[in-house]
Amino acid sequence: MNVELGQITVLQIFQALALGTVLGVAYFGGLKLTLNRIESTKHPAVVVFLSYILRLLLIFTGLFLLYRIAGLTGLLLGAVTALCMMFPFMLLNNEKEGQSS
């Protein structure tokens, strides 16, 4: 099934959505692990810095691959999907903070 929608195919759309979802989950999952680990480490600044660099490399590599696979439209679609992955985490955190007050 290789249906053309302008310059991007349906397969490329699904690839962009899947990679965007994986990038979002990996980035924010890594952030959550970092925040959980800060209290128990001797050097929290090093942990935060290394986590940030690794997560940034992950995102840049994933977006580069997405650009190579699906072009600019796929890159935009994947990036928006990755950003949308942030909202459920924010809502969960807001609900937890509201219950603990």
Q: Looking at the domain assignment, is residue 48 inside a domain? A: yes
Domain of residue 52, residue span: 31-36+43-74
What's the Cα-to-Cα distance from 1 to each of 10, 37, 42, 50, 73, rounded to whole Å? 8, 45, 54, 42, 19
Q: Is residue 12 part of a domain?
A: no
Q: pLDDT tens-digit profile of 67-101?
A: 787 777 777 777 777 777 767 766 766 666 666 54
Answer whether residue 13 is part of any domain: no
Tell which residue, 80, 69, 84, 77, has the closest CA to residue 12: 69
Give the pLDDT confidence of 2-38 residue by residue, as tens digits: 544 556 677 877 877 788 778 878 888 888 899 889 8
**Has residue 100 been placed in a domain?**
no
What pTM does this model have? Answer: 0.67
Give me the number of domains the chain comprises.
1
Token representation of residue 99: 């219950």
C-alpha 77/C-alpha 24 separation (Å) is 12
Asked if the structure places residue 69 within a domain, the reply is yes
Instruction: Flag whether 61 is in a domain.
Output: yes
